[in-house]
Amino acid sequence: MRFELILDEEGDGDQGYLQFMKSKPGIVDKNIRLSDLIGMYKGPDIYIDLTKDGELFGIDVLEGPDQDKFR
């Protein structure tokens, strides 16, 4: 499986995205927050993006208030 790592180069470096397939408008159908799946999870905000077919499109990692910057 190939993926593309996209870092927030324009902002303050607090976001990263792993994209697993080519993008096209409307491909992401559902976002699932990791902390909604794992109640005791502590760490950066992580969102899992799924297509309407349930395929993994990407993973969005956002810096939390107590996390270090990615850079």
Cα distance between residue 34 and residue 37, in whole Å: 5
Considering only CA atoms, which of 5, 66, 61 is closest in space to residue 34? 61
Residues 24-51 pLDDT 10s: 888 899 999 999 999 888 888 999 999 9
pLDDT at 64: 57
Domain ranges of the chain: 4-62
Decide if pLDDT at 67 tops 60: no
- Output the pTM of the full model: 0.74
- The per-residue pLDDT for range 5-23, each reduced to its tens digit, is 777 766 666 788 889 888 8
Q: Where are the alpha helices (DSSP H) in the chain?
A: 34-37
For residue 70, what pLDDT is reported? 45
pLDDT higher at 38 or 66? 38
Other CB atoms within a 10 A radius of the CB of residue 57 amount to 20
